[in-house]
Structure 1
Amino acid sequence: MMIVDLIDGEDFRQRLVSLGVRIPKEACPETCARLAAGCHRAKGVEGLESAIRELMQHTDVMLPSVREAIERHLLPVFSAV
């Protein structure tokens, strides 16, 4: 039996916090992505784009809510550069 470690909302939040984005403890993926995008637009978040691009290579083990939040709020920020 194979056990897969899913990328859930808490994993996503912890990755953003580790990059210096301030996110409330109980934030949903949508809020996490929105706050990270706003922070990146305001002052830039070093390593955010590469972290998100790396996460998006694992959509097969990512919860849909996390993927949708990234696609809605973060990918447009990076494509606008």
Structure 2
Amino acid sequence: MMHADLIDQDDLLGKLRALGFEMPAGASAEQACDCAVRGLDPARARALRSMVEQLFSGGATILPAVRQAIDRNLLPALAQFNQQRP
């Protein structure tokens, strides 16, 4: 039997919590991404960027809801943060 690594909502929340982001219990992937980008500072932005790069370059399959939350929330917030910095 083949076993595929999947990144689901719980995995995303766990990764964000491991980086020190506080997440409400039962948060959706969209809500978790919203929480993570609040009050971005250089250290938080680097941590999020690194996490996203690891997720996208790893061999795991990112479930559609998680990918959509990252695409809609994390990536635009990181891009905007980088544009605002001198």
TM-score (norm 2): 0.80
Distance in structure 1 (CA, Å) of the matches to 2:42 and 2:78: 14
TM-score (norm 1): 0.84
Structure 2 gaps of 5+ residues are none
Q: What's the counterpart of residue 69 of structure 1?
A: 69
Asked if the contact 1:23/1:35 (under 8 Å) is kept, the reply is yes
CA-atom RMSD in angstroms: 2.0
Query: Given the superposition, is the C-alpha separation of residues 19 and 11 from structure 1 closer, same or farther in structure 2, using an over 3 Å criterion?
Result: same
Structure 1 gaps of 5+ residues are none
Greater share of strand: 2
Query: Given the superposition, is the C-alpha separation of residues 22 and 5 from structure 1 closer, same or farther in structure 2, using an over 3 Å criterion?
Result: same
Asked if the contact 2:5/2:59 (under 8 Å) is kept, the reply is no
Which has more radius of gyration?
2
Letter in 2 for 1:16: L
Q: What's the counterpart of residue 31 of structure 1?
A: 31
Q: Percent identity?
A: 34
Q: What's the counterpart of residue 79 of structure 2?
A: 79
Asked if the contact 2:21/2:36 (under 8 Å) is kept, the reply is yes
Count of equivalent residues: 80
